[in-house]
Amino acid sequence: MKNVLVVYYTQSGQLLDIAKNITNELELSKDVNLNFYEIKLKEDFPFPWNKTSFYDAFPESFLQIPRELEDLKNPLLQQKYDLVVFAYQVWYLSPSIPINSFLKNKVAQQLFENTPVITVIGCRNMWVMAQEKVKKLLVDNKANLVGHISLFDRHPNHISVITIFDWAFTGIKRKFLGIFPKPGVSDEDIENSKRFSSDILEAVKSNKYENLQERLLKKGAVIIKPFLIVTDKRANQIFSKWSSFIYKNGKRNEDSRRRWLTVFSYYLMFAIWVIAPIVFIVYLLTYPFTMGKRKREKKYYSLTQLK
């Protein structure tokens, strides 16, 4: 009997739906014992969000500052597994605070050490740099990353900004104003993620993970838009300065911090609606001269290795 654990954190439930579909055939197999463990914070974040808590999560999210967790003595965390499926969200271009908190806890090292891991992301669109950070944390925990699946909102960037804000602040996954598409990963993509489960089951049963990512990629496990790599990297540089400045100039709930978070919120909207389109135009103009680099980046970020 093979033992597999799915570790996840979700607010809306979307990521749990994805994780269940990806492990669908493992759940049905008589040769696999499949369990789910939900990461829990002692002081969790609200859902739906309010604007204060949404922007207040920014500095610690980007700087990967952990919070206290609960339920760490759960028996599911005291075992060794043939595979761990690690499903996470991206907050401010980084793994979410609950995910980062778990990966930096000693319990994670005990769980992940010398264990095959598949990472699963459900997000708006930019995820490559968050995955690099997770890769690093998994290396620190001596895990063996053998696969990666990323599902995201396929709609144009500015459309997804509008719809994800509506979802985040209302808690309702709906067609905003009756004319916008539903936010997040589409119902079709969530349902179709079951296609990955047969390859994962085969790898678990045979204990052979060497070519798993190649097989997953053939089924569309990772789709990368080169422009979003450029945007993600540049935004990380900018977020690094903003997050460090805000974190140093006020603790949570302090007026000084709230003032700078308000400034940051206006900057963020300016960056999305003004700077990003300009960057896209520059990207298109320079693409013929950087085509080789973009192809190499696309290949690298599709794989599980860490530079």
Domain boundaries, the chain: 2-225, 227-300
Mean pLDDT of 101-126: 97
Amino acid symbol at 287 = Y
pTM comes to 0.95
Supply the CATH classification number for the domain 2-225.
Answer: 3.40.50.360
Position 287 scores a pLDDT of 86
Residue 307 has pLDDT above 90, yes or no: no
Q: With cut-offs at 50, 70 and 90, classify the pLDDT of residue 7.
A: very high
- Of all residues in the chain, the percent with pLDDT exceeding 70 is 100
Q: Are the C-beta atoms of 302 and 145 separated by less than 8 Å? A: no
Position 98 scores a pLDDT of 98
Q: Are the C-beta atoms of 94 and 130 separated by less than 8 Å? A: yes
Helix (H) or strand (E) holding 36: strand 32-38
The CB-based long-range contact list for 182-191 (8 Å cut-off, 24+ gap) reads 183/153, 184/12, 184/14, 184/122, 184/124, 184/153, 185/14, 185/18, 185/122, 185/151, 185/152, 185/153, 186/153, 186/154, 189/151, 189/154, 190/14, 190/17, 190/18, 190/21, 190/151, 191/21
Q: With cut-offs at 50, 70 and 90, classify the pLDDT of residue 252.
A: confident
Orientation angle between helical segments 255-270 and 226-248, nearest 10 degrees: 160
Q: With cut-offs at 50, 70 and 90, classify the pLDDT of residue 131.
A: very high
